[in-house]
């Protein structure tokens, strides 16, 4: 990302709406970070305080700088702020903390994100110019740090000498448990989407990680519907898939493209949109997952006359009688940020119709 545009000297005005997060550098030093918008800019303020030692960092970004080299399409800084807030809230639930890297007088804040090929968002936050007192404080901090690290190291060596055998046994048990867990995990993933006519064996781990990025859940699957067996009538899809729980849909077009969508909420045929912050659509061919970035209340459209339908507009729509017509389509950026439809089925236009060769719907069983 390019060098940020710094605001004028002085403490900036902060509105009530702000994001507060904590992040640690590699040496476990904790910093308090505030993110807010003011005058069409995204502002980041970072501070660290320990005794008399205070460090402050501040940076301001405009929208153009934020969107460089990223497949984002936000028109206003407020849209970007709410998107970032949603990502941070999801990360907190998943216990995925932001990371800080310090290089000289610059902090690099990295916020994890799972958005296709984008795996994080990085911000540069520059330290304010040091005065004489701050330089003295930095020297004090360095001396204190050496003292504390030596005391901690001495304590750890003593503990290791006293508990060497106990530690060795614990490590052996952990290694054995890890091997058993890995073996069970490999076998479980192998059995996901069993006998699928669309998903390849080497793609199952990728899909499992899309649903459960932090490997905290024990996910299994059960085939509910397949057009090659059950036909392509939308009523049959709803009859077999309604009120079941989380589902994932795999679609193969007559052109050989493989796409789909996941939702945590049940299909019900109620004829309305539903909110689901965990829903996403994807391309198996390009190995990309596309999450929502706006219209969060319209994650799926649940209508008895439609097959599986995702997004406001729709981003991905499977038509009734989809194997006999070309009425199914995808339309980029109504709710899901996949930039253009060619990222989904590689045709190069924003709205793209296609004919379905086959589609499958699996129940996803999530055991915490």
Q: Are residues 117 and 232 in the same domain?
A: no
- Taking residue 12's Cβ as centre, other Cβ atoms within 10 Å add up to 14
Cα distances (angstroms) measured from residue 96 to each of 12, 19, 34, 319: 29, 16, 18, 38
Pairwise pLDDT comparison (87 vs 133), residue with the higher score: 87
Q: Are residues 206 and 342 in the same domain?
A: yes
Contacts with 206 (C-beta within 8 Å, 6 or more apart), sequence order: 287
Cα distances (angstroms) measured from residue 22 to each of 25, 56, 67, 83, 336: 10, 14, 24, 18, 28
- H helices present in 289-335, as ranges: none
Asked if residue 139 is part of any domain, the answer here is no
Pairwise pLDDT comparison (114 vs 132), residue with the higher score: 114
Q: Name the token pair of 107.
A: 């902090």
Predicted local confidence at residue 244, as pLDDT:
96
Asked if residue 41 is part of any domain, the answer here is yes
Asked if residue 53 is part of any domain, the answer here is yes
Cα distances (angstroms) measured from residue 26 to each of 3, 30, 31, 103: 23, 10, 12, 11
Q: Are residues 248 and 101 in the same domain?
A: no
Asked if residue 205 is part of any domain, the answer here is yes
Mean pLDDT, rounded, of the chain: 83
- Beta-bridge partner residues of 292: 336
- Render pLDDT for 142-153 as a digit per residue (tens, 0 to 9): 666 666 667 776
Q: Are residues 100 and 211 in the same domain?
A: no
Contact present, 331 and 325 (Cβ < 8 Å):
no
Pairwise pLDDT comparison (51 vs 354), residue with the higher score: 354
What is residue 249's three-state secondary structure?
A: strand
Q: Are residues 124 and 206 in the same domain?
A: no
Q: At what angle do helices 132-162 and 164-190 cross, to 10 degrees?
A: 100
Asked if residue 12 is part of any domain, the answer here is no
Q: Are residues 209 and 327 in the same domain?
A: yes
For 237-246, b where at least 16 C-beta lie within 10 A, e where not — what string? bbebbbebeb
Pairwise pLDDT comparison (114 vs 141), residue with the higher score: 114
For 97-135, b where at least 16 C-beta lie within 10 A, e where not — what string? ebbbebeeeebebebbbbbbeeeebebbbbbeeeeeebe
Give the Cα-Cα-Cα angle 352, 266, 327 (nearest 5 degrees).
Answer: 20
**End-of-domain residue from the set 94, 129, 164:** 129
Q: 200 φ, ψ to 5°?
A: -85, 155
pLDDT at 4 over 60: no
Q: At what angle do helices 164-190 and 204-211 cross, to 10 degrees?
A: 110
**End-of-domain residue from the set 80, 112, 129:** 129
Predicted local confidence at residue 273, as pLDDT:
96
What is residue 300's three-state secondary structure?
A: strand
Q: Are residues 94 and 222 in the same domain?
A: no
pLDDT at 109 over 60: yes
Q: How far from each other are the two terminal CA atoms of the chain, in whole angstroms?
A: 38
Contact present, 329 and 317 (Cβ < 8 Å):
yes
Q: Which of 8-17, 280-289, 351-360 has the lowest mean pLDDT?
A: 8-17
Predicted local confidence at residue 349, as pLDDT:
61
In the chain, the number of structural domains is 2
Q: Are residues 254 and 107 in the same domain?
A: no
When pLDDT is averaged across residues 128-141 and rounded to a whole number, the result is 57
The answer to whether the predicted template modeling score (pTM) of the entire model surpasses 0.85 is no
pLDDT class of 347 with cuts at 50, 70, 90: low
User: For the domain that residue 60 is a member of, what is the CATH number?
Assistant: 2.170.210.10
Predicted local confidence at residue 7, as pLDDT:
41
Domain span including residue 123: 19-129
Q: Are residues 201 and 311 in the same domain?
A: yes
Q: Are residues 353 and 217 in the same domain?
A: yes
Q: Tell me what percent of the residues of the chain surpass a pLDDT of 70.
A: 84
Asked if residue 187 is part of any domain, the answer here is no
When pLDDT is averaged across residues 183-205 and rounded to a whole number, the result is 91
When pLDDT is averaged across residues 125-133 and rounded to a whole number, the result is 61
pLDDT class of 281 with cuts at 50, 70, 90: very high
**End-of-domain residue from the set 96, 129, 162:** 129
Predicted local confidence at residue 224, as pLDDT:
97
Asked if residue 354 is part of any domain, the answer here is yes
Pairwise pLDDT comparison (307 vs 144), residue with the higher score: 307
Predicted local confidence at residue 122, as pLDDT:
85
Pairwise pLDDT comparison (28 vs 187), residue with the higher score: 187
pLDDT at 13 over 60: no
Q: Which of 6-15, 94-103, 166-175, 214-223 has the lowest mean pLDDT?
A: 6-15
Contact present, 253 and 354 (Cβ < 8 Å):
yes
Q: Are residues 125 and 243 in the same domain?
A: no
Q: Are residues 113 and 210 in the same domain?
A: no
Asked if residue 328 is part of any domain, the answer here is yes
Cα distances (angstroms) measured from residue 248 to each of 208, 224, 280: 11, 10, 10
């Amino acid at each position: 990302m390019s060098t940020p545009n710094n605001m004028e000297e002085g403490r900036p005005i902060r509105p009530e709406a702000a994001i507060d997060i904590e992040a640690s550098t590699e040496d476990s030093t904790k910093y308090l970070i505030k993110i807010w918008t003011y005058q069409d800019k995204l502002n980041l303020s970072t501070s660290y305080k320990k005794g008399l030692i205070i460090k402050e960092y501040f940076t301001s970004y405009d929208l153009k700088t934020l969107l460089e080299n990223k497949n984002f399409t936000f028109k206003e800084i407020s849209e970007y702020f709410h998107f970032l807030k949603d990502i941070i809230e999801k990360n907190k639930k998943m216990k995925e903390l932001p990371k800080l890297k310090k290089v000289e007088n610059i902090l690099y804040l990295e916020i994890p994100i799972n958005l296709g090929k984008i795996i994080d968002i990085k911000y540069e936050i520059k330290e304010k110019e040091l005065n004489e007192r701050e330089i003295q404080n930095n020297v004090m901090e360095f001396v204190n740090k050496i003292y504390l690290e030596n005391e901690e190291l001495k304590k750890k060596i003593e503990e290791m000498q006293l508990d060497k055998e106990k530690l060795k046994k614990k490590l052996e048990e952990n290694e054995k448990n890890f091997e058993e867990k890995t073996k069970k995990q490999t076998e479980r993933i192998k059995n996901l989407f069993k006998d699928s006519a669309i998903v390849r064996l080497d793609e199952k781990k990728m899909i499992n990680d899309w649903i459960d990025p932090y490997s905290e859940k024990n996910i299994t699957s059960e085939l509910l519907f397949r057009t090659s067996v059950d036909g392509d009538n939308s009523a049959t899809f709803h009859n077999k898939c309604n009120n079941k729980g989380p589902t994932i849909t795999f679609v193969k077009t007559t052109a050989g493209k493989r796409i789909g969508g996941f939702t945590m909420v049940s299909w019900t045929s109620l004829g309305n949109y539903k909110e689901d912050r965990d829903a996403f659509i994807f391309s198996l061919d390009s190995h990309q997952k596309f999450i929502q970035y706006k219209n969060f209340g319209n994650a799926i459209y649940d209508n008895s006359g439609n097959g599986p339908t995702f997004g406001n507009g729709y981003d991905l729509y499977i038509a009734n009688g989809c194997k006999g017509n070309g009425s199914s389509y995808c339309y980029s950026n109504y709710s899901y940020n996949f930039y253009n439809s060619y990222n989904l089925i590689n045709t190069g236009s924003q709205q793209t119709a296609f004919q379905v060769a086959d589609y499958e719907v699996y129940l996803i069983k999530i055991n915490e």
